[in-house]
């Protein structure tokens, strides 16, 4: 009798890993485009590759982002300034499955700074959720911008050991059709593992 048959006989739920259903169950067409044609603020592209501890690409993961708009407003009712949002051509949330080489790509805007704990100000950033096979919970990290003067005083970046800060700072890539491109690779475990937050 197999362990699954034994579990069923004893009324237990058999163990199995999570996924990989993310590619077809959660994304939607155009889910990686957060901007319309009349969006205000600076349009950018965020790209990256999801890799395992050996550097091998993970082709069946799903990356989710959420962020403030260029004015620092979240397009969500929980933002107390939600009624003040002026940019209605920006949705602030997107999902993208990784391709065969583990790459993701989002069209969005460069976010403005947002308020942090106490009276602090958080540097412009994009929050990232990562779903994948074998993960029981999504992993959460951030993409910061390499040229932001607010990075030095950001309260979240200040919690990360200096040698690991680079894992959440996107690199500037050559622009495409005049649109700035930023890259943040996401790495599970091993050398240069991405900093993921306990949320």
Whole-prediction pTM: 0.83
Residues 6+ apart with CB under 8 A from 169: 143, 144, 145, 146, 151, 184
User: Which residue stretches of 1-153 are H helix?
Assistant: 3-9, 22-25
Q: Cα(151)–Cα(133) distance, rounded to whole angstroms?
A: 32
Domains and CATH numbers, the chain: 18-187 (2.60.130.10)
What is the predicted pLDDT for the residue at 30? 62
Q: How far apart are the first and last CA of the chain?
A: 40
Write out the H or E segment, with its range, that includes residue 5: helix 3-9
Write out the H or E segment, with its range, that includes residue 107: strand 103-109
Low-confidence residues of the chain: pLDDT under 50? 1-10, 13-17
pLDDT in tens, 116-135: 878 889 999 999 999 887 77
> Does the bond joining 53 to the residue before it have cis omega, within 30 degrees of 0?
no
């Amino acid at each position: 009798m197999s362990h699954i048959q034994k579990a069923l006989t004893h009324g237990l739920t058999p163990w199995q890993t999570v996924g990989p259903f993310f590619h077809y169950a959660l994304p939607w067409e155009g889910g990686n485009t957060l901007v319309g044609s009349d969006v205000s603020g600076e349009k950018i592209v965020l790209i990256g590759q999801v890799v395992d501890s050996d550097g091998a690409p993970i082709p069946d993961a799903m990356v989710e982002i959420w962020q403030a708009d260029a004015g620092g407003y979240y397009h969500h009712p929980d933002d107390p300034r939600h009624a003040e949002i002026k940019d209605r051509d920006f949705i602030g949330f997107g999902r993208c499955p990784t391709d065969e080489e583990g790459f993701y790509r989002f069209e969005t805007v460069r976010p403005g700074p947002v308020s942090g704990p106490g009276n602090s100000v958080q540097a412009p950033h994009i929050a990232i959720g990562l779903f994948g096979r074998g993960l029981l919970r999504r992993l959460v990290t951030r993409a910061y911008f390499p040229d932001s003067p607010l990075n030095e005083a950001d309260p979240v970046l200040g919690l990360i050991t200096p040698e690991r800060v680079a894992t959440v700072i996107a690199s500037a890539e050559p622009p495409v059709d005049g649109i700035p491109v930023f890259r943040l690779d996401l790495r599970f475990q091993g050398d240069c593992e991405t900093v993921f937050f306990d949320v």
